[in-house]
Amino acid sequence: MTDLTMKPVDVVIVGFGWTGAIMAKELTEAGLTVLALERGEYRDTYPDGAYPKTIDELTYVQRGKLFQDLSKGSFTFRHAVADVAVPYRQISAFKPGTGVGGAGLHWSGQHWRVLPEELQLKTHYEGRYGRKFIPEGMTIQDFGVTYEELEPHFDFVEKVFGTSGVAYKVNGKIVGAGNIHEADRSADYPMVPQKVPYTAHLFGKAAKEVGLNPFVAASSNASGPYVNPYGCQMGPCNFCGFCSGFACYNYSKASPNVNIMPALRDVPHFELRPNCNVLRINLDSDKKKATGVTYVNADGKTVEQPATLVIASTFAYNNAHLFLVSGIGAPYDPVANTGVVGRNIAYQTMSTVQMFMPMDTNTNPFIGSGGNGVAVDDYNGDHFDHGPLGFIGGSPVWCNPAGVKPIAGIPVPNGTPTWGLGWKKAVKDNYLNTVSFDVHGANMVYRDCYVDLDPTYTDHFGTRLLRFTFDWKDNDIKMSQYVTGKMLDVAKAMNPTSIHVAQKKLGDHLDLRSYQTTHWAGGTAMGTDRRTSVLNRYLQSWDVHNVFAVGSSVFPVGIGYNPTGLACALTYWAARAIREQYLNDPRPLVSA
């Protein structure tokens, strides 16, 4: 079945987004011959982000020029184990990427670490509230790595990304006006925070008035000129408002293309092959070792690529897909409660609050920077007593002026018709007079929320699509309603003319029709127990020791923040383990 067999390499990397690029940098530094295979096309600031043609909402947002081409493959969804899944036919609720840079080219740039307690979610909640506090069917567990172990990597990620922000505590000393809930840091952010646009300013002022602790959120949109540790350069963000869905024309938004690729281009033992879609990781006869991968190249030829080490760095859920089609690890079965691959899939439990302000407020919402804004962390994680509330988890909240563009939806007050003169007058009156904030809730993991292979639908290559079985649970909706309710005090303190709250009600189902977030996590969980995880604490497959997986697929639980900072810190953590422990003695790094 193979048309071509290529020259063996030390390492093959499957997927060239943030985590694939980090692995390529780390493993070429270790002297290894590294080949990265990317299913999509080659992309870079020029021409894919070139001004002015990139400033085109229709082409990049509604037609999704940088997103995954669903005509070649998609996913299926169902709400419950007994249902028949149907395909995700149009890009709507989430926007998967493709091409060199992956979703890291079109992301917005919100940059967070993780709350230490979220890395030990099960231990933390059981310790503070008792075992019975965790509801039946919720399958939360620990990552198997601590914040202290990851801290140097979080710090380095921020330096690579040129993150703009302000710390609260560095080495135990209060140094700045950052997030009072933030865990201790070894250094401040490499760049000062960005300027604060008007809506975020109004949000911060109102939050302070009601006794909360707002701060300028960290963004990987450069507040000034910057050179990262790899020698890659960034220019100051000019708040063009075209971040999410776009490649930054200004070299201001961190991306693998801007912040890592320039340092790899001249490395002779690195090769990047775009338009190469990996079909599977190949295993030897006893399924204990990978021998490389098989992919389809741009000419449609099936190619075998031998490699000594395989890194799965596809987007989130796709690592579970790759493991399932390759036969690595036991597929999860929610009924028998056996197997692990595909288990513990998490999303985010979002709600949005919009404040309609008097005429001539002039919030100028076209001014924006993807990751920029003012946030409140008082209701995130376990920063508040959950005892009397009866739910697990929390939500960071932020006003993130990322550039409101007119087609995607100008907020209009409750009761506005969707068309006609009433709609027209409402968009005219409200475009320049609206403030909006998001409650970006964590989503817990459950026994019956998982991914496996769809029995019916296939992709362009004839491979079965990944099937999501997923729905909202009362715990998460209660959490979202509680935090959203608290945040209404902030909304009211802005003295708006009216408020619109978009939040889930108990019994609501996952609704794929409008954009929520692209932050899926899980499927190839890391952990300390191979009965509940696919990877050990170094992101190494328990079953096939020369396969490592990186990206948000390794999160065993959902987190409150955006995942990129954590996904990348964990990648450096795994890279260090490979470089310092694995290469000189390839073996399982943790005995099962």
Q: Is 55 in the site for other proteins (CB under 8 A)?
A: yes
Residue 461 as a binder of other proteins (CB under 8 A): the answer is no
Which residue's structure tokens are 């955006």? 562
Half-sphere exposure of 263 (CA within 13 A, CB side): 22
Cβ burial, residue 57 (10 Å; 0-12/13-18/19+): middle
Size of the site for other proteins (CB under 8 A): 70
314 backbone dihedrals φ, ψ, rounded to 5° = -80, 175
Q: By CB under 8 A, is residue 63 in contact with other proteins? A: yes
The distance of closest approach from Cβ of residue 468 to other proteins in the complex, given in angstroms and rounded to an integer, is 11
As measured in angstroms, the least distance from the Cβ of 466 to other proteins is 12
Determine if 52 is a binding residue for other proteins (CB under 8 A): yes
Member of 6, 42, 69, 383 binding other proteins (CB under 8 A): 69
Instruction: Candidates 81-89, 105-113, 224-232, 343-351: pick the segment binding other proteins (CB under 8 A).
Output: 81-89
114 versus 367: smaller Cβ distance to other proteins: 367
Burial of 229 (0-12, 13-18, 19+ CB in 10 A): exposed
- Indicate whether 40 belongs to the interface with other proteins (CB under 8 A): no
Question: Can you tell me the distance from the alpha carbon of 461 to that of 227, in angstroms, rounded to the nearest whole number?
Answer: 41
Is residue 57 near other proteins by the rule CB under 8 A? yes
288 binds other proteins (CB under 8 A): no
C-alpha distances (whole Å) from 270 to each of 19, 75, 230, 242, 441 are 16, 32, 15, 32, 39
**Considering only residues 228-257, where is the footprint of other proteins by CB under 8 A?**
236, 238-242, 249
DSSP 540: B
Q: What are phi and psi of 151, to 5 degrees?
A: -50, -45
On whether the CB atoms of residues 214 and 200 are closer than 8 A, the answer is no
Measured from the CB of residue 112, what is the shortest distance to other proteins in angstroms?
A: 22
Q: Is 135 helix (H, G, I), strand (E, B) or coil?
A: coil
Check: CB of residue 455 under 8 Å from CB of residue 62.
Answer: no
| Single residue of 201, 321, 486, 545 touching other proteins by CB under 8 A | 201
Scan residues 441-460 and list those touching other proteins (CB under 8 A): 456-458
Annotated catalytic residue, options 124, 201, 519, 545:
519
Q: Is residue 519 flagged as an active site residue? A: yes
Nearer Cβ to other proteins (127/417): 417
421 binds other proteins (CB under 8 A): yes
96 or 563, CB closer to other proteins? Answer: 96
Query: How far is residue 562's CA from residue 113's CA, in Å, rounded to a whole number?
Result: 8
Is 354 an interacting residue with respect to other proteins (CB under 8 A)?
Answer: no
Contact by Cβ (8 Å): 356, 500: yes
* Pairing verdict, β 290-296 and 34-37: unpaired
Instruction: Give the three-class secondary structure for 471.
Output: coil
| 88 contributes a contact to other proteins by CB under 8 A | yes
Residue 211 CA, chain-centre distance (Å), reads 30
Binding to other proteins, residues 153-192 (CB under 8 A): none
Smallest separation (angstroms) from other proteins to the CB of 223: 11
Instruction: Tell me: does residue 502 bind other proteins (CB under 8 A).
Output: no
Verify binding: residue 77, other proteins, rule CB under 8 A: yes
Ramachandran category for residue 168: left, alpha or beta (phi over 0 → left; psi -120 to 50 → alpha): alpha
Q: Give dist(CA 452, CA 443) in Å, integer.
A: 19
CB of 486 to other proteins, least distance (A): 26
Phi and psi angles of residue 575, each rounded to the nearest 5 degrees, phi first: -65, -40
Nearer to other proteins, 55 or 501 (CB): 55
Task: Enumerate the active-site residues.
Answer: 519
Write out the residues near other proteins by the rule CB under 8 A.
51-53, 55-60, 62-65, 69-71, 73-74, 77, 79, 84, 86-93, 195-198, 201, 236, 238-242, 249, 360-362, 364, 366-367, 405-407, 410, 418-421, 423-425, 427-428, 431-432, 456-458, 509-513
